[in-house]
Structure 1
Amino acid sequence: MVARSKRVGEDRLIKKYPNRRLYDTQTSTYVTLSDIKGLVMGGEPFKVVDAKTEDDLTRNILLQIILEEEACGSPVFSTQMLSQIIRFYGNSMQGLMGNYLEKTMQSFVDIHHKLGDQSKGMGAGSSPEAWAQMLNLQNPLMQGLMGNYMDQSKDLFVKMQEQMQGSQNLFTGFPFTQPAAKEEKE
């Protein structure tokens, strides 16, 4: 089959049909969640849409992939972590939580890329096996560094909250009046 050319800046389009099949419009073939995972791993931008309604289903498909990955092998998310994430839904901090997780993940990815760049200079010892062995030895160190980073982030957030609470008292000396509470009608 002939692959269609993709316009520059355009995401690869995957259509989901009512029969739950996924169709890659670029290659004109049906694909699986595993194929979509390959796109993610390859860093290829894509969008999954409902073939009938054209609703964006990309997040749903990504969540399905995560669910499958969590079900087999070593899960990334502990039960406690998933419970804590669920507690933020509907909470006033929900938006902040999503932003915080995204920035933390980006920091982790940046560290991972930096370590990958440094491994290129290792020469013959930079095989995937040698790299994995080195990371296994460094795992406690990395966990300690990430733990310290998270503790510092938490301390910074607590200090920021304290400063914000202190700033509320900043205007108490001014002659502003509080709006009168409306009396309830009986």
Structure 2
Amino acid sequence: MAETGKPLLIKRYASRRLYNTETSDYVTLEDIAGFIRDGREVQIVDLKSGDDLTRQYLLQIIAEHESRGESVLPVAVLNDLVRSYMTGKVSVVPEFLQQSFSMLRDGQAKVMENMNSMNPLASMPGFDAMQAQQEAFIKAMTGGVAGGWPGAKPAEPAAEAAQSTEDLDAIKRQLAELQEKLSKLK
């Protein structure tokens, strides 16, 4: 994608088809969700009227994921959101949610930064593989909210990554434990 500083412009045609102006092709809601997971902001506008439809489509993406059983929002939170719309008073909920997600992203970035810089296990053989698994786990748990791992390092060359069978077995056990924990969370 060309420029990540400004939102990706998606135009909705009268036929309700969504058009990516950067790649000059049609996209689906799932494609848009993928752009967002990858850290890209999107703006969806009606071609004819120029109305901003971004909020409507983002809510539709959330509703579709929730209806498929990919529940992120507890029922109590959904009830509170509905209540905040129905009171007729100015609600602090939108600002609270925005600040909460901002704190979550910042906190996650700091945890990852600390794991990279101050971890005494960093010199342990196979640490890079474990670090990659942790990154994948956190990304899966947060749905990519944090964007990426600041300070993640590229993999070492193959010659340096060679390990003894014992180290590899330990990593496989840890991976199996992480996968087991992930399956229990679902």
Q: Say whether the fold is shared (TM-score over 0.5).
A: yes
1:19 positional shift: 1.7
Question: For residues 35-184 of structure 1, what are the structure 2 equivalents within 5 Å?
Answer: 35-91=31-87, 94-121=90-117, 122=122, 123-124=127-128, 125-128=130-133, 132=137, 133=178
1:64/1:112 Cα in 2 relative to 1: closer, same or farther (>3 Å)? same
CA distance in 1, matches of 2:135, 2:7: 36
Q: Residue 119 of structure 1 contacts residue 131 of structure 1 at CA under 8 Å; is this kept in 2? A: no
Higher relative contact order, structure no. (Cα contacts within 8 Å, ≥ 6 residues apart): 2
1:130/1:19 Cα in 2 relative to 1: closer, same or farther (>3 Å)? closer
AA aligned opposite 2:113 = D
AA aligned opposite 1:108 = L
Hey, what does 2:144 align to over in structure 1? none
CA distance in 2, matches of 1:113, 1:129: 13
1:90 positional shift: 4.2
1:127/1:71 Cα in 2 relative to 1: closer, same or farther (>3 Å)? same
1:93 positional shift: 5.2
1:72/1:114 Cα in 2 relative to 1: closer, same or farther (>3 Å)? farther
Partner-residue secondary structure (3-state), 2:114: helix
1:31/1:74 Cα in 2 relative to 1: closer, same or farther (>3 Å)? closer
Task: Find the structure with the greater CA-based Rg.
Answer: 1
Hey, what does 2:28 align to over in structure 1? 32
CA distance in 2, matches of 1:52, 1:120: 49
AA aligned opposite 2:101 = M
1:130 positional shift: 8.0
Root-mean-square deviation (Å)? 2.8
- Extract unaligned runs of 5+ from structure 2: 138-177
1:47 positional shift: 0.9
Hey, what does 1:161 align to over in structure 2? none
> After the TM superposition, which of the residue ranges 99-108 and 118-127 deviates more from structure 2?
118-127
% same residue: 33
Q: Kindly tell me the number of residue pairs found equivalent between the two proteins.
A: 132
1:26/1:108 Cα in 2 relative to 1: closer, same or farther (>3 Å)? same
1:129/1:114 Cα in 2 relative to 1: closer, same or farther (>3 Å)? closer
1:40 positional shift: 0.7
